[in-house]
Structure 1
């Protein structure tokens, strides 16, 4: 009888070990660290995100557009030319536009106002590259987004409603995957619960090695809508800014790993 229970105990221990190993393999944070290490070894210490940062810096400092001006005088919330940590303070209300803006929309605003570009002339790829450059100047800074202005509070409430809204042909929403079924549904990442795990909202903009693309939070939100078979909000639109504001408030206090490197 004792031998039987020893065998049962050994079997349970083996199954538990396999479960732990499987969990470790599925851990997106550990997986990203492994992929990042391998890529650094293969590329001589250069990540794809480094190239986007370099391109973004060149675009940011170059005199371009009808006004032949750079973006160095753009105010991202700390004053013109003050860039350190600004990514972790957005979205926020800007008095010059009388709007709440996120990182992408603020870059777009400055390209229009400072450089003279027409909205239809602004290339999405350039906005993303500039976002990566600004993100690199906020690395390891904390997220500090607090909706204090009435416009910010109104947009935060909209973002919260959109986050928990179930709609579309699949009757799903953001919270379905990122809160309700975390750890219970196939395909849902263990660390996708942004309301509890602050790592999930502290690494955008990010390079996604799974599809070899540079994304900002706006790209991620649009992809989620597409995954749910729902029409994706337009870039720079109020729904995207509202969702970003809601999620970044949940990430308050998190240290940013920017630009991120994720699956």
Structure 2
């Protein structure tokens, strides 16, 4: 996959150097997407989704595939499942997002040892499962005590200001929505422009496939904050808060292709 971006490095550098150009960020995105498809004949989102599909139907050490896993709608039912996550699961007695549910499935159902669960495998499986929610409406509502506690934590973390820069999520995604910082636009993740529904996604600017967990960790790094661990409560709490704020939004592209 790295060689694809190398082939595109020159035109991509021109796009990023333009900053405030006549093209909108949306037009730049569409151009890069089409250029990549014409050059390679396939998008990375499609490739990673196919890898995830193979993982989903591959038998683990227990002899079971991910079809034996419950992602919230019953074992093996993944159509629309990601549009309803994060949510509370009785078997784990906690609120799980898609990533943590995949890890639970791989270790507790498929029989992999924790050290055998690699991050790229989790991301690929997330791409495939999320692809089955394209066109669905987000339906996340904190109703159980566990979900309500997570929502409260997520709201607190989203609006908290701390660190050397005295910033938090809301500084970019509420206070400065629609403004440009170099080649970047600050997007509204609380429902107005549906940017929360873009994840998981392939980022052409760094040639990486990310879930929302990766996106949140990167935001913390950008703010010079210590990054929360993968699969940790702060990340899931932020996801739940943003997901509920996006309830009713339609997932138009999943996984998405983003800058």
Matches of 1:187 and 1:208, distance apart in 2? 17
Q: TM-score, normalising length from structure 1?
A: 0.86
- Measured in 2, the distance between the counterparts of 1:54 and 1:226 equals 30
**Aligned pairs, number:** 240
Is residue 37 of structure 2 the alignment partner of residue 40 of structure 1?
Answer: yes
**Residue 123 of structure 1 aligns with which residue?**
118
- 1:15-54 paired onto structure 2 within 5 Å: 22=20, 25=23, 27-44=24-41, 46-54=42-50
CA distance in 2, matches of 1:144, 1:187: 34
Shift of 1:135: 1.2
Greater displacement, 180-189 / 97-106 = 180-189
Give the superposed CA RMSD. Answer: 1.8
Shift of 1:32: 1.6
Q: Residues of 1 paired with 2:167 and 2:81: CA distance?
A: 33
Give 1:190 shift.
Answer: 4.0
Q: How far apart are the structure 1 equivalents of 2:122 and 2:187?
A: 26
**Who wins on radius of gyration, i.e. which is larger?**
1
Determine helix, strand or coil for the equivalent of 2:59: coil
Q: Does 1:61 align with 2:64?
A: no
Which 5+ residue runs of structure 1 have no aligned equivalent? 1-20
Cα distance in 2 for residues equivalent to 1:130 and 1:164: 31
Aligned residue among 90, 101, 123 for 1:106:
101
TM-score (norm 2): 0.88
Q: Which structure 2 segments of 5+ residues have no match?
A: 1-18
Deviations 1:145-167 (A, max 9, x none): 11111110110010000001111
Q: Which residue of 2 aligns with 1:85?
A: 80
Whether contact under 8 Å (1:49, 1:207) holds in the other structure is: yes
Distance 2:22 2:245 in 1: 26
Deviation at 1:54, TM superposition (A): 0.9
